[in-house]
A = this chain, B = another copy of it.
Amino acid sequence: MPSSPIAIPARRGKAAFIARGESVKVINTHGEQVVDTWAFSRADLTEFMSMEHSRAGIQRLIPTVGDSMLTNHRRPILTLLEDTSGGLHDTLMAACDVYRYHGLGCTEPHDNCTDNLAQSMRDLAIAAPETPSPLNLFMNIPWTTGGVLSFEPPVSTAGSYVVLRAEMDLVIAFSACPQDILPINGVGRQPTEAHFLVG
């Protein structure tokens, strides 16, 4: 039976243990929220979902329904089962971090996805061995034929979602991206909460 929806609070992270075979439905509750997503093998946290290994496996810039993301040991870890969001996600961009906001002109501390990953893992009394490049759900980074990239608002709508199946016992970690300088969370630049269901 699916769990009740679990909140990923606006600008914050949330992690959970997921058993092999369980599915995680990640809901873009308000429609324009990017959700940085990581997955680590429960048995060995140094094995984790890797964008650079996944791209080599699926031979796509963005996973599509049926694709399995791979770990740094090239094993399937999460399979995309459903996607009602419009299918635009990102595998190219690093999680935002203190350095990113400093470069964008922030002089005060700013919430960021890198710190959110660490905090969400600490809440489970575990530690990420590093900050892998995340699967940025709902994040819209178009590319041109010439390889030029840009940061654009999501195309997802309120309540749209993806479903990911765990291919091993794992820890999943999410961050509701606090980016409010670029329009990556919508032109209103208002980070919001998102939710997930495990079942």
With known contacts A52-B92, A72-B94, A143-B143, A59–B100 Cβ distance under 8 A: no
Using a CB-CB cutoff of 8 Å, which residues 42-74 of chain A contact chain B? Answer: 50-53, 55-56, 59-62, 72-74
Main secondary structure of the interface of A (DSSP, over half): loop
In the complex, how many angstroms separate the beta carbon of A152 from the nearest chain B beta carbon? 12
Question: Does A149 belong to the interface (CB within 8 Å)?
Answer: yes
Contact in complex: A133, B133 (CB < 8 Å):
yes
Interface residue ranges of A86-100 to B (CB < 8 Å): 92-94, 97, 99-100
A55/B92 contact (C-beta < 8 A), A62-B147, A147-B143, A148-B60 known: yes
Is the Cβ of A59 less than 8 Å from the Cβ of B94? Answer: no
A109 contacts chain B at the CB level, 8 A cutoff: no
Which listed residue, B61, B92, B103, touches A74 by the CB 8 Å rule?
A: B103
Q: What residues of B have a CB within 8 angstroms of the CB of A92 in the complex?
A: 52, 55-56, 61, 92
Whether the Cβ atoms of A94 and B53 lie closer than 8 Å is yes
Find the residue from A60, A73, A94, A149 having the highest chain B CB count within 10 A: A94
Contact check, B61 vs A143: say whether CB atoms are below 8 A apart. Answer: yes
Question: A100 — which chain B residues lie within 8 A by C-beta?
Answer: 56, 74
